[in-house]
Structure formats: C-alpha cells, structure tokens
A and B are shown apart, each in its own frame.
Chain A
Amino acid sequence: MWRYVFRRLGQIPIVLVVVTITIFIVVRSTPGDPIQIMLGMQTSPDAVAAIRHEFRFDQPLYRQYLLWLWDVVHGDLGRSVRLNQSVVSLLTERFPVSFRLALAAMVFAVLVSIPLGIISALRRNTWVDYLCTGVTLIGFSIPNFALALVLIFVLSVKLQLLPITGIGATSSSLWASIAPYVLPSLALGMLQVAVLTRLLRSSMIDVLSQDYIRTARAKGLMPSTVLVVHALKNALIPFVTMIAIQFGYLIGIQVTIEYTFAIPGMGTAILNAVVNRDFPVIQGFTLVIASFFLLTNILADILYSVLDPRIRY
C-alpha cells in the first residue's frame, strides 16, 4: 500500500515536467510580448530590453526552462511581470479562496447527490426517479455562468437572500464570511450534483441487484441496515473515489464563476495572466493546479483501497 503510494508520488514530478514544458512552449509561441503589453509602444527599446533581461526572456528557451525549474525546486516561482508581487505570494492569496469555493461546491454536491442518488435508485422508473433525472439533466446542460445569472437574479436581486459578492472582504460575522460563498458554490457544484447523482444511482442499482443483498434480506436484517450497511457501503466506493477526482478538477475550472461573482481566486488570476501574457504567473499556477489534480487522484486511489478490502496495492 505505502509502496504503491510512494511510487505514485514519485511519478508526479515526471508528469509535472511534461505539463510545464508544454505550457512553457505554448505560452511563448503564441503572439504577444508581456513586456510590450505592459509598457506600451512608446517605451524606449533599451528599457524594454532591460526588463526582458531581468525576466530572462532574452535567453534561449531551454535555458529559461531549466532556470525556472531550478528556482521551482528551491521554492521560488518567480515574479509576476505585471503585478509587483511574487507568484508564490499571489498563490497564497488566491489558492485558499479557490480551495474554499471548491470545497463548498463539493459539500453542496455531496449533500444533494447522496439522497437524490439513493432515492432515484430505490424508486427506479417512478416519477421520483424521473424528477431526479430532470435535476441532473439541468446540471449537465446548463453552463454554470448561466446558472449563476439565474441564481443571482432569483436569490439576490428578487429575494434579497444572499449577497452576490464579498469573498475576500473582511467581514464581521461568521455568516457574513460564509454567505458570499453560497451562490458561487451552488453554481459551481451543480454539475457535480449531476455527475455524482448519476454515479450513485447506477452503482446503487447495481449493488441492490447483487446476491449479497438478497442474503442480507434473507437474514431478516432491518431494511435500513440492508440499505446503509450492505448496499451503501458498496455503492459509495466509486462515489467517494469520484468525489476526490472531481475535487481536484474543480480547483481548475472556476474561471467563469469567479469572474461572474468577482471572486479573487485562481481563475481570475489566470485569466488576467493570460490576457497580459504574464508568463511566470501562468506557469506557476498551472504547476499548482496540475499538482493538486494529481494529488487528489492519488488520494482517490488510497480511498479506494481503504474502502474496498479486495483492493490491495
């Protein structure tokens, strides 16, 4: 088990090198010069050259990469071209916001999908099931920014229940610090609701038809015991694994939601970095998002083997 985890952890650097080399090449081979964009056209060529030198943009690509890698290994992700800030400090500002938002979205998705998945499996092919299918279809088909606009309109503008913005602002009460997360996490988590409900429904249907469920019933166990101990314990194995995988994925896809709700998270930072060709920020953030995704995947594997005694790595 631990040997397997260490082996998987050992693979991470290799994947990250491949990812970052790709990003390195892609961002530099698309048109647009970060320094030029920042300083405008009137600046003297000497000033531009000086700054290019400072950011090593005058060096050959492979040297730039190797130097960057050397710095990364020493905990330095460079400085933003645009912002007067190191990439690490930008990350420490932005990552917690995105992490909390992803967490809130996932908690919402899990809380909704567990009852929906179970009920639709138990009441399969009844109107309850069709209703759940309808909800998941909405989750799959509405783009999250559209859902965000609907939520803003209904819950904030009309009913005045929740604030639209406010994440990152200093707040007085607990509710005031939680409230701004509600709408974005609903909008962001809806797709996960759909994914997780469908998954739980199908794995629950599969489990309920298994012979060991018939055995459990033949033992005269309480229906709740059969459902929770015998069925759910099996059905949750793929479900929990999926939560871990989806969580890693959620960190990287918040751009539209952050933009809609003016959230100072990683998504808006990346968006600005791309617009301004802020290479160090793009690279640093990509590295962190990719690492996070890889780590949650390993976590998913660990969870799988913890939950299913048949799996031993």
Chain B
Amino acid sequence: MTSPLLTVNNLRTSFRSDRGTVRAVDGVSFTLNRGEILGLVGESGSGKSMTAMSIMRLIPEPPGSVEADELRFDGIDLLALSERQMLDVRAARIAMIFQDPMRSLNPVLSVGRQLTETLRRHLALDGAAARRRAIELLEMVGIPMAKSRLGAYPHEFSGGMRQRVMIAIALSCNPSLLIADEATTALDVTVQAQIVDLIKTLVKDIGASVIWISHDLGLVANLCDRVNVMYAGRIVESGPIRDVFYRPSHGYTLGLMSCTPRIDLVGERLRPIEGLPPDLSRPMTLCPFLPRCAHSVDRCRTERPALIEEQPAHWASCFADLTGSWRQTT
C-alpha cells in the first residue's frame, strides 16, 4: 500500500484571547489516502474550518498557534516549510473552496483576473497563455460563453456560477488535495447537486483527494468514502461511511443521526442536539459531550475516553455500548 497523501497527527490549534487560550483544534489525527474523499462533519464551532486552515497554514499567528506531532503532505513536512515555501504549496498542491462564493471572490477584480493571477503565479504562464487556460477552465466548470465572461465581475454571476468560478480557480493548478469547506451550503438544493457532481467528476479527472467539510449528512453519506466526526475540537468518531452513520459508536454521532430522519436524503442538515457545546477555553478532563449525552455510563464521569479502534478501521472515543440504539433499517 502506498503512503497516505496527508497525515495529520495530534494537530493542536489554539487562539490566545482575553478569556484565555481557546483550543479550537485539540489533538486531531487522521490520514487521507490518495484519491479518497473524506468527510468532516460536526456542529458549528467544532473546529472543522480551523483544521482545514491549519493544514493550509492560514491561521494568523499570533493570535493563533498551530502545533502538530506530524503534518505531512505528499512526503512534505508542512510545518517545516517557511512561509515563502508554503506559498508554493497553496493552490498549486492544496487548494480550497469556501462557503459563500459571493464573498470569497474579490468584488473589484474581474473573474478572468482572479483566475489568471493564480495561473501566472504557480504555472508561470504568460498573459496570453494564462487567458487561454482560463477560458478552458471556465468551460470545464460549465460556464457558457466563457471567453466573453472573462472580463465580468463576480456580482454579474449567479451564486451557482460564482461557485463554479471558485472551483475553476481551485482546480486550475491541478492540486493533489482539495479542501471544500461547506462549498455548497450557501447554494439552493438543485444548484447544490450540480456543484457536487461537478466537483466529483473533476477531482476524479485530475486524481485529487478531497476533504469535504459539510453540515449536510446526506451529502457526506453520498459523496464520501470515510468520515470524521468532530466535537469540541476533537475527532470523536472516524471510519467508513456505512460504519459511522449506520453503526455509530459515539454518543454524539448517534445524537446527530437520531436528529436526522433519513440519511439517504441529500439536503439533510445537522439538526441541533439539546444543550450547548463546551467552552473551549476551559480545560477538559472528561468527555466534552457528557453534559448533553443521552447514553452516558458511570465510567464517563471518572475518566476521559481515548479514540480507539472499536471495529477494523472504525474509531471512536466513547465508553457507552450503543449497539442497542442502532437503526433497524441496517
């Protein structure tokens, strides 16, 4: 077996603030294989975006601070790179798509400019070649009359078209890893499905791996090979889609699933579980989900569960035995 594309080992991202140190990412470890699509789910504030931004090394330091035992991408130790070297990794090797395509594109620069600047920066294309490639890219993501749209500004595009432009930019340098942070959340459902299909096809073509961050469990179930469930800055459960979603081994995942009537339905958002996530600036000695958990056992109140491999390739950090609560449909 070849080595994984991305290895994240004990990633810790924190922010120093007046209220103390906020541990936004608190010891996250996972690997991503080549060609794999990995889902990252969890409720708001659980640290999904911060995990992605840490991998890109886009966390401003200070006030942020990013540490890890290992952050290895395609044989490169990302933490050992200088900021200057990291510039050559961004977009060229690891690309990112963000949630709101209106606000993610610069309103005062033409779409063509925003595409070609990436090409010129990383592929050293000159003006004419960059323009030709930009037109190809816009055609590739399905923008009609691409040539005449180069000079247009983001506000002249619809939301779905803007996200297509973002995808064109993200994939313009054939990255090996694409991180999509809620790439379809701001779009309406029909457009969402088109964008997901587009990304799926394109990453297959260029052979990129994907980290797909989403609130949409149904979408993750359809699209991803494996999924990481995050809670309070940690991965609480991880494994193949079938195992995690149909045989959850963590009280939080189970809570998410029981709040979701039908997992096979795309467009199913995370519904809130009763209670609030913990304050990330406080040290945690027990399971962070304990106050909200409906399945806690006595042991939960004395020690903190470690992330262990409960089934082959299926990891969870939970003491409770949840087999009795699994859905009958599986």
Closest B residue to A222 using CB positions? B87
Stretch at the interface among B91-99, B306-314, B319-327: B91-99
8 A Cβ contacts from B150-174 to A: 153, 155, 166, 169
Say how far B179's CB is from chain A's closest CB, in angstroms: 9
The verdict on A219 contacting B105 (CB below 8 Å), with A214-B58, A310-B153, A310-B155 known, is: no
- CB pair A229 B109 closer than 8 Å: yes
A210:B88 contact, CB within 8 angstroms = no
Chain B contacts of A237 at CB under 8 A? 108
* A-B pair number, CB within 8 angstroms: 76
Across-interface contacts of A218 in B (CB, < 8 A) = 56, 58, 90-91, 95-96, 98
- B100 at the A interface (CB under 8 A): yes
Among candidates A220, A230, A307, A309, residue contacting B90 with C-beta atoms closer than 8 Å:
A220
SS of A interface (majority): helix
State A233–B104 Cα separation when bound (angstroms): 16
In the complex, chain B residues 82-117 whose Cβ is within 8 Å of any chain A Cβ: 86-92, 95-96, 98, 100, 103-110, 117
Pairwise interchain contact A309-B106, C-beta atoms closer than 8 A:
no
- Does any Cβ of B come within 8 Å of A221's Cβ? yes
1/0 contact trace for A212-243 toward B, CB 8 Å? Answer: 10111111111001000110011001000000
CA distance A308 to B108 in the complex (A): 6
With CB as the reference atom, state the residue of chain B lying closest to A221. Answer: B121
Residue from A215, A233, A310 in contact with B98 in the complex, judged by beta carbons closer than 8 Å: A215
User: Which residues from chain A contact B95 at a C-beta distance below 8 Å?
Assistant: 218
Give A138 to B209 CA distance when docked, in angstroms.
Answer: 56
Interface pair B92/A233, CB less than 8 Å apart: no
Q: Residue A46 at the B interface, CB < 8 A?
A: no
- Give the distance to chain A from B309, nearest Cβ to Cβ, in Å: 33
Residues of chain A within 8 A (CB-CB) of B153 are: 309-310
A226 to chain B, nearest CB (A): 10
CA distance A229 to B108 in the complex (A): 10
How many angstroms between the C-alpha atoms of A219 and B106 in the bound complex? 12
Q: Which residues of A contact B103 (CB under 8 A)?
A: 210-212
In the complex, what residue of chain B is closest to A308 when comparing beta carbons? B108
User: Hey, which chain A residues are within 8 Å of B109, CB to CB?
Assistant: 229-230, 233
- C-alpha gap A83/B125 in the complex (Å): 69
What distance in Å separates the Cβ of B59 from its nearest Cβ neighbour in chain A?
11
Whether B122 pairs with A212 at a CB distance below 8 angstroms is no
A211: contacting residue among B88, B104, B110, B121, CB under 8 A: B104
Closest to B90 in A: A220
Instruction: For A210, list chain B residues within 8 Å (CB).
Output: 103
Write out the residue numbers on chain A whose beta carbons fall within 8 Å of the beta carbon of B155. Answer: 309-310
Across the interface, do B121 and A212 meet the contact criterion of CB distance under 8 Å?
no
Q: How large is the interface on B (under 10, 10 to 19, 20 to 34, 35 or more residues)?
A: 20 to 34
B118 adjacent to chain A (CB < 8 Å): yes
Distance in angstroms from A313 CB to nearest chain B CB is 15
Q: Decide: A219 near B118, CB < 8 A? Known: A211-B98, A212-B103, A309-B155.
A: yes
Across-interface contacts of A220 in B (CB, < 8 A): 86-92, 118, 121-122
Whether the Cβ atoms of B90 and A234 lie closer than 8 Å is: no
Are B90 and A219 in contact, CB atoms less than 8 angstroms apart?
Answer: yes
A218 to B100 Cα, complex, angstroms: 15
How far apart sit A233 and B109, CA to CA, in the bound complex (Å)? 9
Asked if B108 and A219 make an inter-chain contact with CB atoms under 8 angstroms apart, the answer reads: no
A141 to chain B minimum Cβ distance, whole angstroms, is 30
- Also in contact, A219 and B100, with CB within 8 A (given A230-B106, A310-B155): no
Interface 1/0 per residue, A192-224 and B, CB below 8 Å: 000000000000000000111011111111100
With A and B bound together, what is the CA distance between A225 and B114 in angstroms? 12
**In the bound complex, do residue B108 and residue A233 qualify as a contact, i.e. CB atoms below 8 Å apart?**
yes
Tell me whether A212 and B104 are in contact (CB under 8 A): yes
> Cα distance A45–B150 when bound, in Å?
79
Contacts of B110 in A (CB 8 A): 309
Taking CB atoms, residues of chain A closer than 8 Å to B92 are 220
Nearest Cβ distance between residue B88 and chain A, in whole angstroms? 6
Taking a contact as CB atoms under 8 Å apart, the answer to whether A309 and B107 are in contact is yes
Chain B residue nearest to A231 in the complex (CB): B106
A244 to chain B, nearest CB (A): 18
- What residues on B are CB-neighbors of A212 within 8 Å? 103-107
Contacts of B118 in A (CB 8 A): 219-221
Residues of chain A contacted by B121 (CB below 8 angstroms): 219-222, 225
Measured between beta carbons, the chain A residues less than 8 angstroms from B86 are 220
Q: Could you tell me the distance in whole angstroms from the C-beta of A62 to the nearest C-beta in chain B? A: 51
Contact at A219–B169, with CB atoms within 8 Å? yes
Measured between beta carbons, the chain A residues less than 8 angstroms from B88 are 220
In the complex, what distance in Å separates the CA atom of A124 from the CA atom of B191? Answer: 40
Instruction: Report the separation of the CA atoms of residues A178 and B67 in the bound assembly, to the nearest whole angstrom.
Output: 58
Q: Closest CB of chain A to B213's CB: distance in Å? A: 14
The residues in B between 41 and 65 inclusive whose CB is less than 8 angstroms from any CB of A are 56, 58
Closest to A216 in B: B106
- What are 27 inter-chain pairs, A to B, with CB distance below 8 A? A211-B100, A211-B104, A212-B104, A216-B106, A217-B58, A218-B90, A218-B91, A218-B95, A219-B91, A219-B117, A219-B118, A219-B121, A219-B169, A221-B87, A221-B117, A221-B118, A222-B87, A222-B121, A225-B117, A229-B109, A229-B117, A233-B109, A234-B106, A307-B108, A309-B107, A309-B108, A310-B107
Closest 7 CB pairs of A and B: A220-B90, A211-B103, A212-B106, A309-B153, A219-B91, A220-B91, A220-B87
Known pairs A214-B58, A233-B106, A309-B110 / 18 extra A-B pairs, C-beta < 8 Å: A211-B98, A212-B104, A212-B105, A215-B104, A215-B105, A215-B106, A215-B169, A218-B98, A219-B91, A219-B117, A220-B91, A220-B92, A220-B122, A225-B117, A230-B109, A234-B106, A309-B153, A310-B107
